[in-house]
Structure 1
Amino acid sequence: MMTVKLLRWIVLPPIVLLVMALAVANRGSVTFSLDPFDSISPSIGLEVPLFLIVLISVLVGILIGGMGAWTQAKRKAARSKASLPETNGLPVLRE
């Protein structure tokens, strides 16, 4: 457990610095268009900084991955709970 905390302190600061450098380097506005047929003057489009699009897409990916891992862990826990016999708090030997 101590290794995970140490590893987090070693890996996390460079990632934060890279994200900050990305945000500073890509401040220019781009058109975020949801109209695939007209790229010149889209009917649905927003002028936003490029780093905002990148950071929001990374955040959405993290949220989707977290929800997938959470549902998988929930299913695995339910499956393992269903396969274990009921006991009075005593350990059960498996064959």
Structure 2
Amino acid sequence: MSKLKRIISLVIFVPLGIVLIVLAVANRQSVTLALNPFRPEDSMLSVSAPFFLFLILAVLIGMAIGSAVTWWNQGRYRRQARVEAREAMKWQGQHAAATTPRTVSQLPSK
């Protein structure tokens, strides 16, 4: 299953990377991102940069948000795994104590 995941990720991420590189090369002109919808000419709330920086920044922000949401949604499974691991260690410890051979000094005296 691991090889299948690797192949699928290569099939998705390699073309995506190529598209981003092509867009970055083709869009080197400077653009202004206006953050004030009511007065776009306001220079206090605007940023000028090459367009490819905005593209790459949008992809990185999207990846970070997607990763955070995935991590948040899988929290219950990680919690369940921790609880089950503690229970397994507890049971394994009890089993090891019950099956450990006793030395002469640990045997009950008559």
Above 0.5 in TM-score?
Answer: yes
Q: Sequence identity of aligned pairs in percent?
A: 28
**What's the Cα RMSD here?**
2.3
Q: Give the whole-Å Cα distance in 1 for the aligned partners of 2:73 and 2:44.
A: 39
Q: Any unmatched runs of 5+ in structure 2?
A: 93-110
The total of aligned residue pairs comes to 89
One-letter amino acid of the structure 2 residue matched with residue 51 of structure 1: F
- Output the amino acid matched with 1:72: N
Structure 1 residue 5 displacement after superposition: 1.7
Gaps of 5+ in 1: 90-95
Deviation at 1:73, TM superposition (A): 0.9
SS in 1 for 2:74: helix
Determine which structure has more spread, i.e. the larger CA radius of gyration.
2
CA apart distance, 1:37: 1.5
Tell me which protein shows more helix as a share of its residues: 2
- Cα distance in 2, alignment partners of residues 22 and 13 from structure 1: 14
Matches within 5 A, 1:1-95: 1-79=2-80, 86-87=87-88, 88-89=91-92
Contact 2:27–2:51 under 8 Å retained in 1: yes
